[in-house]
């Protein structure tokens, strides 16, 4: 029996089949893509970034900025779209960001952003899709 707090519930076998190996590794196994290799790192077009697993809108393009970290960076998420979880996996305390609709891993958020929000959402390109306006 599958028990989940997320509206979208699938077995890991279903996720793996839908996402393919690399996206599954990032979104469901909390992996990370190499910096400066992601499709959306330098994208500057107008539109909406959505969860690569369930298509939930997560970030608007006007919140995107080039932080120089090698991953797409945003200074705020769409309200209610992201869940925040404490992550101690590297021996340090970070804040992991998950899609609030399906629980998929997106990346991490840091309090060192250069914009007015002070936030830097550091997101894997493989965890998102982009709908151009």
Which residues does 14 contact at the CB level (< 8 Å), separation at least 6? none
| Helix, strand, or coil (residue 131) | strand
Rg (CA), the chain: 14
Listed in order, strand segments (DSSP E) in the chain are 47-51, 57-60, 64-65, 73-74, 82-87, 94-99, 105-110, 120-123, 128-132
Helix (H, G, I), strand (E, B) or coil at 13: helix
Residue 37's alpha-carbon distances to 22, 72, 87, in angstroms, are: 13, 10, 24
Active-site hit among 51, 54, 102, 122 = 122
102 labelled catalytic = no
Which residues are annotated as catalytic?
122
């Amino acid at each position: 029996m599958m028990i989940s707090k997320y509206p979208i519930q699938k077995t890991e076998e279903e996720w793996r089949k839908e996402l393919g190996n690399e996206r599954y590794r990032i979104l469901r196994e909390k992996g990370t893509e190499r910096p400066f290799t992601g499709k959306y790192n330098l994208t500057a077009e107008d539109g909406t970034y959505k969860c690569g697993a369930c298509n939930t809108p997560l970030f608007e393009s006007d919140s995107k900025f080039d932080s120089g970290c090698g991953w797409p960076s945003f200074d705020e998420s769409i309200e209610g779209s992201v869940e925040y979880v404490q992550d101690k996996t590297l021996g340090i305390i970070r804040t992991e960001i998950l899609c609030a609709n399906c629980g998929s891993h997106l990346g991490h958020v840091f309090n060192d952003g250069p914009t007015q929000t002070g936030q830097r959402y550091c997101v894997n390109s493989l965890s998102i899709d982009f709908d151009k306006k």
